[in-house]
């Protein structure tokens, strides 16, 4: 899924926290184009989890001082079984400059469409003049994996324009219901072509060995590993 801001030039962009922590304050309020995709079938890819990442204690970890579990702790440790064995999925939101904005980590067998809304909720772009961070993009683009009534209803309720192609079965079902099926979905080919930018963002993240192959037993530790890799992408000169 892609996010577009018509009020900003395509040369400037901002990080968020995965929200990825902000590292370039002079660019904070210039978030132009963003994309949201997850790692899965077709163009997106799963994470192969090393055998050493399995076997974590069933007890929830505790922070020694605060005596509570880490914020990113998951009971399933974001480890799942897929065709390649143990795996995890990174559902990613990235801006048009091939840099991550936000991400969510789930077990490898989880589907893409239900994770679209949680990923969008992770996007928080601070404003240079202060105030509430920006959370609503101007335009969202994605592939057929994100086409669902729930996702489209959420985007319409938040008044977010979107370019998500409608699968053949959903299109046939809508036509079969006649007037009760609703109007045809809009589709912008120019915006849809820019979907490759989020694929290139994922490829850049996979250049880090600790991200391409998960060695961490705990999900919150692996989450921190991906966050550090995302920050390093933001620090690289464009």
Helix (H, G, I), strand (E, B) or coil at 155: helix
Say if CB 146 and CB 154 are below 8 A apart: no
Greater confidence, 126 or 45? 126
Reported as a pLDDT band with limits 50, 70 and 90, residue 1 is low
Mean predicted confidence (pLDDT) in 46-73? 73
> Is 60 exceeded by the pLDDT of residue 94?
yes
> Is 70 exceeded by the pLDDT of residue 27?
no
Q: CA-to-CA distance for 207 and 185, rounded, in angstroms?
A: 37
pLDDT at 233: 93
> Is 70 exceeded by the pLDDT of residue 32?
no
Mean predicted confidence (pLDDT) in 109-133? 91
> Is 70 exceeded by the pLDDT of residue 146?
yes
pLDDT at 17: 43
DSSP secondary-structure letter at 167? Answer: P
Residue 166 phi/psi, 5° resolution? -95, 125
Task: Choose among 134, 111, 196, 186: nearest CA to 156.
Answer: 186
Helix (H, G, I), strand (E, B) or coil at 190: helix
Instruction: Return mean pLDDT, the chain.
Output: 78
Give the range with max mean pLDDT: 19-23, 153-157, 169-173: 153-157
> Is 80 exceeded by the pLDDT of residue 44?
no
Task: Choose among 28, 19, 77: nearest CA to 53.
Answer: 77
Residue 207 phi/psi, 5° resolution? -70, -20
Give the range with max mean pLDDT: 136-150, 154-168, 177-191: 154-168
Mean predicted confidence (pLDDT) in 54-82? 78
Reported as a pLDDT band with limits 50, 70 and 90, residue 3 is low
Burial class of residue 37 in the structure, from the number of CB atoms within 10 Å of its CB (0-12 exposed, 13-18 middle, 19+ buried): buried
pLDDT at 34: 39
Query: Which region among 31-35, 60-64, 119-123 has the lowest average model confidence (pLDDT)?
Result: 31-35
Q: CA-to-CA distance for 144 and 20, rounded, in angstroms?
A: 27
DSSP secondary-structure letter at 86? Answer: E
Q: CA-to-CA distance for 21 and 230, rounded, in angstroms?
A: 9
Q: CA-to-CA distance for 150 and 154, rounded, in angstroms?
A: 6
pLDDT at 22: 46
């Amino acid at each position: 899924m892609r996010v577009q801001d018509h009020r900003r030039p395509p040369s400037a962009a901002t990080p968020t926290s995965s929200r990825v922590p902000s590292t370039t304050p002079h660019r904070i309020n210039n978030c132009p184009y963003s994309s949201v995709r997850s790692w899965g079938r077709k163009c997106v890819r799963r994470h192969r989890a090393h055998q050493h990442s399995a076997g974590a204690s069933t007890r929830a970890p505790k922070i020694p001082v605060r005596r509570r579990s880490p914020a990113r702790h998951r009971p399933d440790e974001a480890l799942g079984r897929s065709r390649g064995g143990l795996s995890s999925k990174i559902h990613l939101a990235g801006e048009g400059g091939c840099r991550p904005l936000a991400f969510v980590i789930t077990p490898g067998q989880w589907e893409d469409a239900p994770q679209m809304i949680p990923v969008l909720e992770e996007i928080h772009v601070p404003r240079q003049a202060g105030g509430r961070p920006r959370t609503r993009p101007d335009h969202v683009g994605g592939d057929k994996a994100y086409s669902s009534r729930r996702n489209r209803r959420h985007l319409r309720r938040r008044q977010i324009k979107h370019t998500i192609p409608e699968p053949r079965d959903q299109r046939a079902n809508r036509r079969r219901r006649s007037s009760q099926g609703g109007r045809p979905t809009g589709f912008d080919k120019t915006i849809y072509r820019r979907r490759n930018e989020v694929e290139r963002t994922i490829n850049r993240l996979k250049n880090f060995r600790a991200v391409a192959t998960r060695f961490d037993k705990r999900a919150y530790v692996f989450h921190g590993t991906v966050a550090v890799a995302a920050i390093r992408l933001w620090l690289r000169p464009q």
